[in-house]
A = this chain, B = another copy of it.
Amino acid sequence: MSTVETIDSIETPALLVDMDALEWNIRVMADFMKGRRVRLRPHFKTHKSPAICHRQLAAGAKGICCAKLGEAEVLLTSGISDVLIANQVIDPAKIARLAGLARGARVTVCADNERNISDLSAAASRAGATVYVLVEVDVGMNRCGVKTAEEALSLARRITGSPGLSFEGIQAYEGHLVQLPEIEKRRAGVREMEATIGGVKALLEEKGLPVKEISGDNTIWTEIQAGSYVFMDTSYDEMGLPFRESLSLLATVIHTHAGRAVTDAGMKVCSTDHGQPSVKGHPGMEVRTNEEHGIVADPAGELRYAQKIEYIPSHCCTTVNLHDRYYCMRNGLLEAVWPIPGRGRSQ
């Protein structure tokens, strides 16, 4: 047996990372951010890997953001000391964990509710910690966040007056615009959102509350929460960005018959919430996934029994959440196996 593993010796299904493409993506983003006022705070929800976070930080990222308290726990026990939970944490038991984490690190959380601010303040005071807080403002996604500048002012004042808390600024995420196909519609939506947030910021600062940070997904903010650029997927590929596909799902053809190849990789290893995956190197082949199998249309009979093929997932974030490790490949050889300790940390 060879001491160096190639794709042929990796058991499937397996999640591969093309290291050259990963490093390219991190470098392209770092170059894009150079000389700008806005800083990068990469999102952990995509890759869930502290190993990738440390590479993003080494390339200049100011800190990491994540979606869940359980993810923040992974980050803060993996040598990362500046974490934003870009979400609300409202359960009393979770708030106690959050305050505990904040004793040894800079932890920021979003809030959009007075009761939540009281609970955060009480827990931070008990823990002798400072919790940094952004007021979330809804910029049209119709999810969490306050709806008016007056509500934002009221919450910012409350945070400023609460022991254990530090008001840092605003969280505003335009998830409803991110994948609009027409760039003009995206731009118009962004202008509208900028006007909204500009108004909130002006009101708060007029009232003596400095807005140090505006965090989200926009280059006029103070920090950008970017996730998928490290991996890309078929959904993001459609946007024509300068990033390369670095994530793929290795599968084995376990059966061929009459223009179909059946693989060992179904929806339990490759998410379908953004559609079916495509086959790397075979853009014309359509894939249909069952729970444990993929059925690849192969009318020309190109795929052979026992052949390894790679899917490009349609949604990298939800696909990663199905796996415990990355097989990190460079020039066709296995370079490292990285755990994915953030997988499943949804609490």
Chain B residues near A323 (CB-CB < 8 A): 344
Chain B residues near A344 (CB-CB < 8 A): 322-324, 343
Q: Does A184 contact B (CB under 8 A)?
A: no
Q: For chain A, what secondary structure do more than half of its interface residues adopt (helix, strand, loop), or is it mixed?
A: loop
Complex: how many Å from CA A145 to CA B271?
A: 25
Q: Does A280 contact B (CB under 8 A)?
A: no
Q: Return A307 CB to nearest CB of chain B, in Å.
A: 11
CB pair A291–B12 under 8 Å, yes or no, is: no
Which of B113, B147, B252 has a CB less than 8 Å from the CB of A91?
B252
CB pair A91–B12 under 8 Å, yes or no, is: yes
Chain B residues near A3 (CB-CB < 8 A): none
Q: Does A39 contact B (CB under 8 A)?
A: no
Complex: how many Å from CA A264 to CA B91?
A: 11
Q: Does A254 contact B (CB under 8 A)?
A: yes
Please judge, given known A-B contacts A112-B255, A147-B257, A347-B12, whether A321 and B68 are in contact too, CB under 8 Å.
Answer: no
Q: Give 20 A-B contacts (CB < 8 Å), ordered by A residue.
A: A11-B91, A11-B93, A13-B346, A45-B291, A67-B291, A87-B254, A87-B264, A88-B255, A90-B254, A115-B306, A143-B290, A143-B295, A144-B293, A267-B271, A268-B318, A268-B346, A291-B317, A291-B318, A322-B344, A343-B344
Please judge, given known A-B contacts A87-B292, A113-B305, A290-B175, whether A318 and B143 are in contact too, CB under 8 Å.
Answer: no
Chain B residues near A343 (CB-CB < 8 A): 344
B interface footprint on A273-298 (CB within 8 Å = 1, 0 otherwise): 10000000000000000111101000
Which single residue of chain B is at the shortest CB-CB distance from A256?
B113
Residue positions of A touching B, CB distance < 8 A = 9, 11-14, 45, 67-68, 87-88, 90-91, 93-94, 112-113, 115, 138, 142-145, 147, 175, 252, 254-255, 257, 260, 262, 264-265, 267-269, 271-273, 290-293, 295, 305-306, 317-318, 321-324, 343-344, 346-347
Chain B residues near A94 (CB-CB < 8 A): 11
CB pair A318–B255 under 8 Å, yes or no, is: no
Complex: how many Å from CA A267 to CA B344?
A: 11
Q: Which 8 pairs, one residue from A and one from B, show the smallest C-beta to C-beta distance?
A: A144-B255, A67-B292, A88-B254, A11-B347, A269-B346, A268-B321, A267-B273, A13-B346
Which single residue of chain B is at the shortest CB-CB distance from A142?
B260
Complex: how many Å from CA A268 to CA B48?
A: 12
Chain B residues near A115 (CB-CB < 8 A): 305-306
CB pair B292–A45 under 8 Å, yes or no, is: yes
Interface centre among A91, A144, A317 (most CB of B within 10 A): A91
Interface centre among A88, A115, A260, A292 (most CB of B within 10 A): A292
